[in-house]
Amino acid sequence: MTDDVILQVKDLKAYFKLDEGLLKAVDGVSFDLRKGETLGIVGESGSGKSVTNLAIMKLIPTPPGRIAGGQVIFDGKDLIPMNDNEIRQIRGNKISMIFQDPMTSLNPFLRISTQMVETIVLHQGLDKKAAKEKAIEMLKLAGIPAPENRIDQYPHQFSGGMRQRVMIAMALSCNPEILIADEPTTALDVTIQAQILELINELSQRLGTAVILITHSLGVVAGMCDNICVMYAGRVVEKGSADEIFADPKHPYTVGLIKSVPRLDKENKQRLYSIPGQPPNVINLPECCPFFPRCDRAMDICKSKYPPVADLGNGRTVSCWLYGEGK
């Protein structure tokens, strides 16, 4: 089972040194990504989802940020100690990324063709003409009508949904093994959200690309992901297969997240659940379970020590004093 693991994140730490103190945005995150798999990373705002994935690509703004430890093993090699030249061979080529806000993620001053062609020329060694043909083909795959005309336009001539399609086409143009999609639909219209998710799903399956899908909401990942990582305050609190997590969530935070997904099969009369309280400020976090102030099952030990990772077998882990040796 481990042979088809293509990305192994081990105890990854990314800290920001701010005036207010040390912000441990990511503090010991581990997960595996298998070939062709779709992994969902879920958590509230500020839980460190984006920073985790920027750290994988070594794109954390330094200073104030830095990778404080851990390994990111891709293709048998650790990316963290790589120099700029080596990591650039990976970026956009083996691992691509699309971002939350398609309105600002494309360069407004350059034509779509320029932005797509430069990536393809860089990584695939095609000449400009062939690269442009490849770009048109990718745009067509991504559902852009009349791509041979639209490719010479500028980003502002595209709607938000269309721009995200362009981002997807661009990200997949070099046939990456991994696509990281950081909340690709949050900034879009609800009606367009489903289309974009469906597009990512379809293309990644067709091209055999593994996907890390970052999102706020479990509702989004439910239909799409094989496995799920739930993050809270810079750590993974629970992970496992999507089916198991939905059927039997262990961590009280996961339970809360599932309860807060709007569902059509239940009566719509009751108000939508939301987890009480606010996500913690991760600056100078004390040694405790960061979720205990909001947890309805908190115990004394939760206030004094961070829970260890309990392995429940079958790739399922949870960090909570209710489980494993802490029980």
Ligand X SMILES: Nc1ncnc2c1ncn2[C@@H]1O[C@H](COP(=O)(O)OP(=O)(O)OP(=O)(O)O)[C@@H](O)[C@H]1O
List of residues contacting Mg ion (CB under 5 A): 50
Stretch that binds ligand X, among 15-23, 75-83, 168-176, 299-307 (CB under 6 A): 15-23
Per-residue mark of binding to other proteins, 167-186 (x: CB under 8 A): x--x----------------
List the beta bridge partners of residue 318.
238, 310
Per-residue mark of binding to ligand X, 52-71 (x: CB under 6 A): ---------x--xx------
DSSP of 48-88, one letter per residue?
SHHHHHHHHTT---TTTEEEEEEEEEETTEESTT--HHHHH
43 binds ligand X, rule: CB under 6 A: yes
Is 37 exposed, middle or buried (CB count within 10 Å of its CB: 0-12, 13-18, 19+)? buried
200 binds other proteins, rule: CB under 8 A: no
Helix residue ranges per DSSP H, 65-127: 84-90, 102-105, 112-124
Min CB(106)–other proteins separation in Å: 6
> Residue for token digits 């791509």?
147
Stretch that binds other proteins, among 5-13, 85-93, 221-229, 298-306 (CB under 8 A): 85-93
97 binds, among Mg ion, other proteins, ligand X, none (CB under 5 to 8 A by kind): other proteins
Q: Which helix (H) or strand (E) holds 200?
A: helix 190-207
> Residue for token digits 């559902």?
143
Contact criterion met (CB below 8 Å) for 42 and 251: no
Smaller CB distance to other proteins: residue 7 or 245? Answer: 7
CA gap 203, 198 in Å, rounded: 8
CA gap 264, 103 in Å, rounded: 31
* Among the listed residues 16, 31, 232, 321, the single contact to ligand X using CB under 6 A: 16
108 binds other proteins, rule: CB under 8 A: yes
298 token code pair: 């908190």
241 binds other proteins, rule: CB under 8 A: no
Which parts of this chain interact with other proteins (CB under 8 A)?
57, 59, 61, 84, 88-93, 96-97, 99, 101, 104-111, 118-119, 122-123, 154, 156, 167, 170
